[in-house]
Homo-oligomer: A and B are copies of this chain.
Amino acid sequence: MSTHPLEEILHPRSIAVIGASGNNNVPGYQFTASLLEYGYKGEVYPVNPKYSEIVGLKAYPDIRDIPGPVDYVISCVPASQVLNMVKGCVQKKVKALHLFTARFSETGRKDAAELEQEILQEARKGGVRIIGPNCMGLYYPDEGISFSDAMPKKSGTVGLISQSGQLAEEFGRYAAMRGVSLSKAISYGNALDFNECDFLDYFSQDGETRVILMYVEGVRDGKRFFTSLREAASTKPVVILKGGKGRSGTRAAASHTASMAGSQKILTKMISQAGAVSAEHFEELVDLAAAFNFLPPISGFNVGVAGGGGGSSVLAADQCEASGLDVIPLPKEIREELKSKGSTIWDWIGNPADMSIRDSRDFGPGDILELMAGNEKFDILMAIMSDPHHERQKGTTAQSYLKGFKLEGLNNKPVLAVVADKALGVEDYDHWSWKVMCDLRTKLIAENIPFYPSVKRAATAARKLVEYYQRKR
């Protein structure tokens, strides 16, 4: 397999930020400062005739004034200046140009769309490849490249291809809270030159990426997309969130990234036929990232649930079943085991294991999870972990949760935890119980256990993961 052209482009020896700025409220500052803050090891050249120095670096009036070679350019200049700037890039033998610059074809204006095409022709003639325009470009923590100071510094093995820069940033931040770190993310906006297929091909080959996520608003070439997608999905899990599904979303996508309508139904079918996974909304993209990041291939839908009280066990069963998991009855052999251990409710307990009327002689959620983990009928386990909320529960710690659920080292069966996110207000924020839950999330990540804010979201992610691996076989 030959090396993908993006491999060299994403490892630039030097980066110039054209339209760099000393004003920390503008992107020209943020792109420059982020390169320093994230530890980029190559040369950084701010370009702006109005400055002699930016963020402590010598600034150049024009790219042609930079002494050394420039591999990669980030453009923050207005759209009207881009064509002239491309000429400079060509002279400087730049390999790739990231156009953060916006207000091109997405405006719907004829002159802007024509300018965009002129820029493409000029770059093509000169051998300069383009990422964008109208996008955030590259986030690559191991190379010290970030498009925002809000992105995590820790790298992982999930790769993100996002037509939207805003969503790439939100994903990076929120996924980190769920224990998911990125190998790299690329926001590509209007996809004037490099498009979704190029990035998919690249991530498919990329040894640093185990799972591929995509946010796409439009696909230029359906046939090529299907081929790239099928190839990628046969190599590693690919999860796709399509933006612009209905009439209003399609309108919004056109004005956001100049994406064409494209039938949502065809695309959904294409994703499924290619063996990739569809995410219904942004939250589900994060949920599926957590599932594929932490869980091994799972071959069946049988789930064992423990930890809830009476009502929440009933609702957990409903939500698991509605989401496509099988909440099988508690196997006879587990009941017998409970009976032999002296449980007073061995003939009553079920799956989900309702803990509400047990007494001190009965088992806890960890005991039942342990029995389920040891029983071949179960494929997946779900631990429902509610926040402590009585004064008498003071002293409860994240550690006591892990112990009570016996989640440390429970590695013979995949587990999903349910830990609700709550709408904390000022008073709640200072309550000890929520600090315990925050600590619990951090500890679950350390145990490599994905957690979800609701049973429904946990069950949906698990079902889609099982479907992916079943299709793959």
Contact = CB atoms under 8 A, between A and B. Distances in A.
A247 B424 CA distance: 35
A422 interface: yes
A235 interface: no
Contacts of A314: 164, 217, 243-244, 249, 252-253, 256
Contacts of A109: 347
**Identical copies in the complex:** 2
A163 B312 CA distance: 12
B251 A329 contact: yes
A442 interface: yes
Interface stretch (A84-92, A191-199, A451-459): A451-459
Given A249-B314, A256-B310, A422 B423 contact: no
A320 interface: yes
B423 A453 contact: yes
A173 B386 CA distance: 12
B248 A148 contact: no
Interface in A306-352: 308-322, 326-329, 345, 347-348, 350-352
Counting chain B CB atoms within 10 Å of each CB, the highest count among A248, A345, A347 belongs to: A248
Contacts of A391: 149
Interface string A250-285: 011101110000000000000000000000011100
Counting chain B CB atoms within 10 Å of each CB, the highest count among A149, A328, A429 belongs to: A429
A347 B391 CA distance: 58
B150 A354 contact: no
Interface stretch (A55-63, A201-209, A433-441): A433-441
A439 B426 contact: yes
A24 interface: yes
A469 interface: no
A309 B252 CA distance: 11
Contacts of A438: 424-426, 428-429
A162 interface: yes
Given A314-B253, A348-B108, A357-B103, A281 B451 contact: no
A122 to B, nearest CB: 23
Given A166-B309, A283-B454, A318 B419 contact: no
B24 A321 contact: no
A403 interface: no
B166 A356 contact: yes
B320 A248 contact: yes
A170 interface: yes
Interface string A53-96: 00000000000000000000000000000000000000000000
23 contacts: A25-B392, A103-B357, A149-B391, A167-B315, A170-B386, A174-B422, A177-B422, A245-B321, A246-B318, A247-B321, A247-B327, A248-B317, A248-B320, A252-B314, A252-B317, A281-B315, A283-B456, A419-B423, A421-B423, A423-B451, A424-B441, A425-B445, A428-B438
Interface of A: 24-25, 30, 102-103, 106-109, 134, 148-150, 162-167, 169-170, 173-174, 177-178, 215, 217, 241, 243-249, 251-253, 255-257, 281-283, 308-322, 326-329, 345, 347-348, 350-352, 354, 356-357, 386, 389-392, 419, 421-429, 434-435, 438-439, 441-442, 445, 451, 453-454, 456
What 6 pairs across the A-B complex have the smallest Cβ distances?
A164-B311, A248-B327, A166-B309, A167-B311, A421-B421, A246-B321
Given A177-B425, A243-B311, A251-B329, 17 more contacts: A102-B356, A103-B357, A134-B357, A167-B311, A217-B311, A244-B317, A246-B317, A248-B328, A248-B351, A252-B316, A252-B354, A419-B423, A421-B422, A421-B423, A424-B434, A426-B441, A429-B434
